Amino acid sequence: MRCSWAKGELMERYHDEEWGVPTRDEQKLYEMLLLEAFQAGLSWYVVLSKRENFRKAFDGFDARKIAAYDDAKIEELVKNEGLIRSRQKIAGAVQNAQVYLRIVKEFGSFAAYLDRFTGGRIIVNQTGEALTNSPLSDAISKDLRRRGMKYMGSVTVYSYLQAVGVINDHEKECFMRTETNTTLVFAALREYPHWKEAAASWFSSKWGAPKEAYLNCMNDYLENRTEYGWYLCLHQEQIVGGLGVIENDFHDRRDLSPNICAVFTEPAFRKQGIAGKLLTMAVDDLKSKGISPVYLLTDHTGFYERYGWEFLCMAQGDGEEQMSRMYIHR
């Protein structure tokens, strides 16, 4: 059973894969901040249905570019029929991007700024009521508005905190409201570089490839020699899921690159949407850097299609007798 508000395919997928999932991904935190400000006075469905239009029009949610928008750019956005065409909200988004960048400069990240109010804890709504604000959202709203952000009232901030998993507000009957889900953290390795050794050992234990091979790829990513990243799901200081992105996942189609690889979720944590969230996170991260499409080699059928992947062709894995299925995410 899902939360009662999750009706229809778009809202169900958002609920199952994104809403209430803790994240320290700065790109995700900023994207949701921008979108939540546009929701003010509207339904979330309206905003969500226009998200890809927003992504394209707002330069992939690049805060630095948005902060530099001038009056001509604002006018262009006001005329864009794929957006919520409020001049005040669009101008507010530009001002909010400027404030966001100042916050990141001051605290090192927006996640660290939020930690200042929460101590890094996930707040679980135990009241049994559908809240629209709280003392926490009141405090953050007051501070954001003091710093100059627009459309950041306490109700909007509360909705934002729900969306990015600072507040776990899944209804008590919802399948996502479990103790496990309240303590899951999804992050790119760049956000937790101190996990590199543990992550390399974990992937090696799951797939049998040498730890050094994983370390080499991770070092290239952490030292900015590549944007092909590594993504983890953590639970109580343990890795319970993960995947990576590499040039070629050991197959004969060298022209199909980059590849998602090493997708794994610990058995005790399966059927909670972890793999799907990691896939979505990796694809969105790559797209934000202009890297698309992405490919994936697998023997599975019926799973990856749930997350927007399409079967492309068969490919021959190195040293494999049988050919495997190649998927693409455009």
Name the residues annotated as catalytic: 14, 36, 44
Q: Name the E strands within the chain.
A: 123-124, 167-168, 184-188, 230-235, 238-246, 259-265, 294-298, 310-316, 323-329
Mapping DSSP to helix (H, G, I), strand (E, B) and coil, where does residue 2 land? coil
Separation between Cα atoms, residue 324 and residue 66, nearest integer Å: 42
Amino acid at 50: K
224, 61 contact by CB (below 8 A): no
Comparing CA positions, the residue from 8, 13, 2 lying closest to residue 305 is: 13
Cross-strand bridge partners of residue 315: 324
Separation between Cα atoms, residue 45 and residue 177, nearest integer Å: 22
Query: From residue 170, how far is each of 3, 43, 165, 177, 290 by CA, in Å?
Result: 6, 18, 10, 5, 34
**Token pair for residue 209?**
């490839």
Q: Which residues contact 185 (CB under 8 A, 6 or more apart)?
A: 22, 23, 24, 233, 234, 235
313, 298 contact by CB (below 8 A): no
Mapping DSSP to helix (H, G, I), strand (E, B) and coil, where does residue 23 land? strand
Would you tell me how many other CB atoms lie within 10 Å of the CB of residue 12?
13
